[in-house]
Amino acid sequence: MKTESDGTNDKRPCRFAKAWIVYPFLLTVDTLEMFLARQGSEALFKVLAGLVVFWFFYVPAHELLHAAACFLTGGEVRQLALEPWYGAAILEKIFPFVVSGSDYAGQLTDFSVPDRFAYLVVDLFPYLPSLFGVALILRARRKEQALLFGPALLLAFVPLLSIPGDYYEAVSLFTSPVLAALAPGAPADLLVSDDAVKLFFDLKAAGYLDFLSLSLYAADLALSALLALGTLVLQVLIARDRPNPLDKTPLKR
């Protein structure tokens, strides 16, 4: 016998999305509005200043965490390329594997790891600090510290910026062998890359962009997006004493 739903179950996915996925965005917008309402243009300057200054520390720290993960998993780091703007001249005097000059802000360009799971750790290890991004946004909000809000934003949302980068690579480590198994002759690591955009054009130029490889490539992007959103969910889970976005007035000022 068919019974009519009261709509409660239909709303659960929406409530989950709002409580765990949309929440960091709601919190960010509302907190920025709070700073602007209370401190005006001075708050905006502090937010941008904090974001920019922190970025120049974050980039080398992020790349060094990649290297640290490589060592921790029993691997070897032979070269980490870093743009001069991010202190490469200083770091190459401390770490013998750091070299100045890179096609990106920074990149682990020559390394080896024991297996794919170790490679996965190398990809994702630098995002451990991001697990506390939402908690830092809440702290900046409660303490009314606009200068802290900028770094907190970067930590919270850098996983989303890395969907076509480290997150894509983390997923492709396990789908690329599937392609090699289904398409004999294809390289085992054909889809592995920390730059999904560049990889697309490389595949096209090499003549590997057929239906199968394109399907797996698209699946990798989708899964990497889910992985990044999962990082956001973990941030919300870790954050405590947070305003409830399901209330009628979720983020009271």
The per-residue pLDDT string of the chain (253 residues; one tens digit each, 9 = 90 and over) reads 444 445 555 566 666 666 778 999 999 999 999 999 999 999 999 999 999 999 999 999 999 999 999 999 999 999 999 999 999 999 999 999 999 998 899 999 999 999 999 999 999 999 999 999 999 999 999 999 999 999 999 999 999 999 999 999 999 999 999 998 998 888 889 999 999 999 999 999 998 989 999 999 999 999 999 999 999 999 999 986 655 544 444 455 4
pTM: 0.88
What is the per-residue pLDDT for 3? 45
Distance CA 60, CA 56 (A): 7
The long-range contacts involving 22-27, CB below 8 angstroms and separated by at least 24 positions, are 22/245, 23/134, 23/236, 23/242, 23/245, 24/133, 24/134, 24/137, 24/156, 24/157, 24/232, 24/235, 24/236, 26/245, 26/250, 26/251, 27/134, 27/137, 27/138, 27/141, 27/242, 27/243, 27/245, 27/251
Distance CA 154, CA 138 (A): 14
The residue with tokens 């700073």 is 35
Q: Looking at the chain, how many residues does it have?
A: 253
What is the per-residue pLDDT for 202? 95
Report helix, strand and coil shares of the chain as percent, to nearest 5. 70, 5, 25
130, 98 contact by CB (below 8 A) = no
Cα–Cα separations (whole angstroms), residue 3 to 11, 21, 120: 17, 31, 47
What is the per-residue pLDDT for 1? 43
Evaluate the CA torsion angle 90, 95, 100, 104 in order and state its sign: negative
Residue 233: both structure tokens together: 């969910």
Distance CA 230, CA 201 (A): 28
